[in-house]
Amino acid sequence: MEQVERFHLPPNKIKASDSRSKKYKQRFGMECWELDALPPSELIGIIDTSIQSYIDNPGAFKARVDEAEQGRKILRAFAENYGDLADLVQPIGTPT
């Protein structure tokens, strides 16, 4: 509700046809708000803060993030040069 008040988000009516509506109404009332109504930078901040709260070893986490980024760079380079590389690679099962 903090974000609803801070960003003055417009409410939506709960869809009575939604199987989850009864429990939602009991817990939160008759209005709901769409997550994508928040500015993207705010969503990123909320998600980042939540994820960070579960990380007990920031150094190890950063190392894994860096490793994943390096892998993405390699894949991107391969994809960008696939045409050139495909001529050099022989398909599996093709006689030499």
Q: What is the mean pLDDT of residues 64-73?
A: 96
Q: Who contacts 33 (Cβ-Cβ below 8 Å, separation ≥6)?
A: 4, 9, 10, 11, 12
Q: Do 52 and 61 contact (CB within 8 A), yes or no?
A: no
Q: What is the mean pLDDT of residues 45-74?
A: 94
CA distances from 21 to 9, 28, 30 (A): 20, 10, 9
96 pLDDT tier (thresholds 50, 70, 90): low
Quick one: pLDDT at residue 91?
Answer: 72
Q: What is the mean pLDDT of residues 80-88?
A: 78
Residue 88 above 80 pLDDT?
no
- 24-33 per-position pLDDT tens digit: 999 988 889 8
Residue 72 above 70 pLDDT?
yes
Quick one: pLDDT at residue 68?
Answer: 97
Determine the Cα–Cα distance for residues 68 and 55; give it in Å rounded to an integer: 17
Q: Do 48 and 77 contact (CB within 8 A), yes or no?
A: no
